[in-house]
Amino acid sequence: MANVKNQNPNNHHKHHHLHALLIPYPFQGHVNPFVHLAIKLASQGITVTFVNTHYNHHQINSGDIFAGVRSESGLDIRYATVSDGLPIGFDRSLNHDQYQSSLLHVFSAHVEELVASLVGEGVNVMIADTFFVWPSVVAKKFGLVCVSFWTEAALVFSLYYHMDLLRIHGHFGAQESRGDLIDYVPGVKAINPKDTASYLQETDISSVVHQIIIKAFEDVKKVDFVLCNTIHQFENRTIQALNSKIPFYAIGPIIPFNLQTGSSVTTSLWSESDCTQWLDAKPDGSVIYISFGSYAHVTKKDLVEIAHGILMSKVNFVWVVRPDIVSSDENNPLPEKFESEAGDRGIVIPWCCQMTVLSHRSIGGFLTHCGWNSILESIWCEVPLLCFPLLTDQVTNRKLVVDDWEIGMNLCEDRGFVERDEVKMSIDRLMCGKSRDEVKEAIRRVKMSLEGALTNDGSSEKNLGLFIDGLWAKVGITNGKA
């Protein structure tokens, strides 16, 4: 299995034992990197207990998701489930705010019960998603070292971390937000407020998501370590500045490499369609892959414009149209004759194994909502991006991809206005325009940085080592062994 190393027999800490409890925010874009972090840590000889919610466990429908990895590679990864506070049949997509409220107010009580039952098994570290509002409290209660895992870019972390500064300057939480550049956040080069996470741009900051973010970023100031799914080379200054406040380790990219070598952990919350045979029949680089991730909704109006733009462009496509992409009570959001008009040029599927699709030789572009995992996976597969950010960090990720790294293009210049002619033109530009070669070249360079970070003396591998040393030191102290 790629990226999985054997336990190091010379580990100078062999007399102790680390056992980490990993608790992802229960969304696909968080579960995926947590699963691969679990494998990474277990490959370093750490015992891991991975926690899925009952609901996600039920959706994944594959029993103990680590059974295969355990038997093939002997990694000590255990699996536990916990209630998110709602019945399994509850429609979490349709009732987003109730779901988030349950995670905000109820989830920690269930987590505490689980942790209480596991401390007897030697759990001494908790690695929880930064979006949770309770990690430092729960960790303290059970005497665990507390680690926060941030599954987005360090830039986004830094802006949330400095919300108080943004507030003082009137860039967050003001009745009328300022439009001038934000040029005072340590380690962050001047940024247009329009490029910050959508939640930072909203004037009403009383929503449940705002309550979560505000509380979560108070809590993260009390944890022992932060891990981030980025690389030093991408966000050097931002990471350095954060490091002066909190031990912050860039250990990315954490993506499903194992899919390329056959051994895998099932994480998909929807069942996957296999389109490999269809892709096999298409010429190299001729297909655009389209997906808007697992979380965001798209309006029917925008979806219809995109559909027409795709038809007009004449390129081949694979389009993931999640069953709830508009809303789970809207069954068929695409224009009536879309699939028949597309004919053999394209397929529409509810979900797929994204890494398998992206790494197929026929894929030449990715129309994406700019979820952070999608960006890392696309870079890894050297697939240029067409950006259609919808909300949250996706807005900032677009800036990184298009303006800073130049590895992608905008779908629409005005984010609020999607129009079929512009969609067609953008798809054509990405797939066969003059600037395509430059974008391809840039993405190759960025991919090299990602690869470099993962070599033995690469920055992410070094940071992982430093983090684990830090864990040992902390566990030693909390165990009174120093």
Residues that bind ligand UPG (CB under 6 A): 27-30, 32, 151-152, 268, 291, 293-296, 320, 351-355, 371-374, 377, 392-394
Phi then psi for residue 52, to 5 deg, are: -110, 155
Q: Is 47 helix (H, G, I), strand (E, B) or coil?
A: strand
**Cα distance between residue 227 and residue 145, in whole Å:** 13
Residue pair 34/225 in contact by the 8 Å Cβ criterion: no
**Identity of the residue, 118 or 129, whose beta carbon is nearer to ligand UPG in the bound complex:** 129
For the purposes of burial, counting CB atoms within 10 Å of the CB of 81, is it exposed (0-12), middle (13-18) or buried (19 or more)? middle
Which tokens hold the place of 86?
A: 């709602």
Phi then psi for residue 79, to 5 deg, are: -135, 130
> Least CB distance from residue 153 to ligand UPG, whole Å?
8
- Residue 187: in which H helix or E strand, if any? none
> Least CB distance from residue 265 to ligand UPG, whole Å?
12
**Identity of the residue, 180 or 274, whose beta carbon is nearer to ligand UPG in the bound complex:** 274
Q: Which of 416, 389, 378, 208 is nearest to 288 (CA)?
A: 378
**Identity of the residue, 290 or 315, whose beta carbon is nearer to ligand UPG in the bound complex:** 290
> Least CB distance from residue 299 to ligand UPG, whole Å?
16
> Least CB distance from residue 224 to ligand UPG, whole Å?
21
> Least CB distance from residue 339 to ligand UPG, whole Å?
17
**Identity of the residue, 102 or 268, whose beta carbon is nearer to ligand UPG in the bound complex:** 268
**Identity of the residue, 115 or 310, whose beta carbon is nearer to ligand UPG in the bound complex:** 310
Determine if the peptide bond prior to 335 is cis (ω within 30°).
no
> Least CB distance from residue 45 to ligand UPG, whole Å?
26
**Identity of the residue, 118 or 147, whose beta carbon is nearer to ligand UPG in the bound complex:** 147
**Helices 154-161 and 236-243 meet at what angle, rounded to 10?**
40
> Least CB distance from residue 349 to ligand UPG, whole Å?
7
Residue pair 129/25 in contact by the 8 Å Cβ criterion: yes
> What is the sign, positive or negative, of the torsion defined by CA atoms of 30, 356, 369, 304?
negative
> Least CB distance from residue 197 to ligand UPG, whole Å?
9
Which tokens hold the place of 457?
A: 């003396």
Q: Which of 154, 158, 124, 152 is nearest to 139 (CA)?
A: 124
**Identity of the residue, 115 or 407, whose beta carbon is nearer to ligand UPG in the bound complex:** 407
**Identity of the residue, 279 or 320, whose beta carbon is nearer to ligand UPG in the bound complex:** 320
The C-alpha torsion from 276 through 281 and 285 to 287, rounded to 10°, is: -70
